[in-house]
Structure 1
Amino acid sequence: MKNLKFLDNEFFKEAGEMAHFTARFFRELSKPKQEYEEFINQCFWIGYKTLTLVGITGFIMGLVLTIQSRPTLVEFGAESLLPSMVSVSLVREIAPVITALICAGKIGSGLGAELGSMKVTEQIDAMEVSGTNPFKYLVVTRVLAATLMVPILSSLANAISLYGGFLGVNIRGEVSWSLYWFQVFKVLSFGDVLPSLIKTFFFGFAIGIVGCYKGFSSQKGTEGVGRSATTAVIVASLMVFIIDLIAVQITDLLGLT
């Protein structure tokens, strides 16, 4: 019982500190003099440097999902519905969530390790002494970059995965390029694309906040840096699933499913 009580206390303490960290982010964001150069630099490292991994994963997702779905549809004589089914599955759920999980692993751990190493080597303290606002320079720019780049990466993953689906359809069948895309866009609606895009902004924000918080609160030297990177991935991945669950419930209440 004592251990459970200790875990509960730690959980609520961590949740409160993260909420305070998030509130500080919005407070610093509202202040003038934005660090645009650092923001662009972080967009490059977070977005461009993750593009190859996201693209390869998206292509494999589309290809594998199409190949695995074909036998079931063939049994019911509905093979012609394969492009439609794959497109809805990818755009609504699979591509955004898998992309966010990849970003949680790569970006979340990177932010936790980078800021954690700066914390334990007292570089952040040195920035404060020199008159630089380390929170605005390090945290605000990285969270904004993650919030912007994850939706872009998710959109690219959608396109690449749908192309992988086209190749998967033509492995054992023959569907023309124009017919495939006609079937894809015929079933996709505003209610499929918009909620999928909106929730990726929340995915990116959660990944950025968690990674920066874990790095900024890192302690106990190099051991703490490793722990910050690991817990950043775990918590960010959990946040992605929670946000996705909430988004699904909201879209269902709004009748967009």
Structure 2
Amino acid sequence: VGAVGGAFAVAFCRELAPVLTAGVVAGQVGSAFAAEIGEMQVTEQIDALYMLRTNPVDYLVVPRVIACCIMLPILTIFAVAVGLLGGLFVAAYFYELEPSVFLESVRTFLGPWDLVTVAIKSFIFGLIIALVGCGWGLTTAGGGKGVGQAATAAVVTSWVFIFMADFFLSLLMFHELGITRS
């Protein structure tokens, strides 16, 4: 019973919080990037940027990538905090576990390396979401229908890359390093 908080915290921090937060951001932000840039592509605004000797990647993609790489770790840390508070509430209210026991278990099982991995994973997921969303937007063709397809494809592609990256990052960060519990 005393390990419930720690087991929940490790699983939530290492896997669920980064992946779920990235999924929400991919659905909202990644699709918005693809739709916005895709609309600019089909209405020839990207061509106008070239005519003005402005690189569309520098002007449209780089700021979005930077913003996503900064904000996703912040959102994920917030998700971890809210998730741990939710876990504390459930453990105390439904399972009548003392909050001090839950929190001590979290403190015992969750180490600084787990929080570092959250930030690293989130940064990489933010990079994936921004690059995929902007990439689909820049390659949009076919008018309004193409914009919708690009937005959908950006979300699906982001999810696939997020799962693949999570698998390899988890393997690298936890298995290869011999870290099973921090």
Give TM-score, length-normalised by structure 1: 0.66
Partner residue of 1:170? 92
Whether 1:127 aligns to 2:58 is: no
**1:243 paired residue number:** 165
Contact 2:128 2:162 in 1 (8 A): yes
State which structure, 1 or 2, has the greater radius of gyration over its C-alpha atoms: 1
Q: CA RMSD in A?
A: 1.4
Query: Per-residue deviation at 1:215?
Result: 0.1
Q: Any idea what the Cα deviations from partners look like across 1:111-134, whole Å, max 9, x if unmatched?
A: 110100011011112222233332
- Name 2:38's counterpart in structure 1: 116
- Deviation, structure 1 residue 174: 4.5
Corresponding residue number in structure 2 for 1:221: 143
Q: Contact 1:191 / 1:256 at 8 angstroms: preserved in 2?
A: no
Query: Aligned pair 1:145/2:67, yes or no?
Result: yes
1:179 shift after superposition: 4.3
1:98 aligns with 2:20: yes
User: Post-superposition shift, 1:191?
Assistant: 3.2
Distance 2:108 2:47 in 1: 56
Aligned partner of 1:81 in structure 2 is 3
Cα contact 1:192–1:256 (8 A) shared by 2: no
Amino acid at match of 2:110: L
Tell me if structure 1 keeps the 8 A contact 2:4–2:105. Answer: no
Give the SS at the match of 2:179.
coil
Partner-residue secondary structure (3-state), 1:94: helix
Residues 26 and 155 of structure 2 are in contact (CA less than 8 Å); yes or no, is this contact kept in structure 1?
yes
Larger relative contact order, structure 1 or 2 (CA cutoff 8 Å, min sep 6): 2
Any idea what SS the aligned residue of 1:131 has? Answer: coil
Q: Which residue identity is paired with 2:176?
A: L
- Over the matched positions of the two proteins, sequence identity in percent amounts to 39
Following the alignment from structure 1 to structure 2, what is the Cα–Cα distance between the partners of residues 174 and 190?
Answer: 25
User: Structure 2 matches for 1:11-50, cutoff 5 A?
Assistant: none
Rounded Cα–Cα distance in structure 2 between residues aligned with 1:256 and 1:140: 35
What residue ranges of structure 2 are gaps of 5+ in the alignment? none
How far 1:167 moved relative to its partner?
Answer: 0.8
Question: Per-residue deviation at 1:187?
Answer: 1.1
- What's the offset of the Cα at 1:200? 1.4
> Aligned letter for 2:169?
A
Q: In the alignment, residue 224 of structure 1 is paired with which amino acid?
A: G
Aligned equivalent of 1:255: 178
Match for 1:199 among 107, 110, 121? Answer: 121
- Structure 1, unmatched stretches of 5+, are 1-78
Structure 2 CA distance for aligned equivalents of residues 202 and 174 of structure 1:
36
Check conservation: 1:214, 1:232, Cα contact below 8 A: yes
Give the C-alpha shift of residue 182 in structure 1.
2.5
| Alpha-carbon separation, structure 1, partners of 2:56 and 2:40 | 10
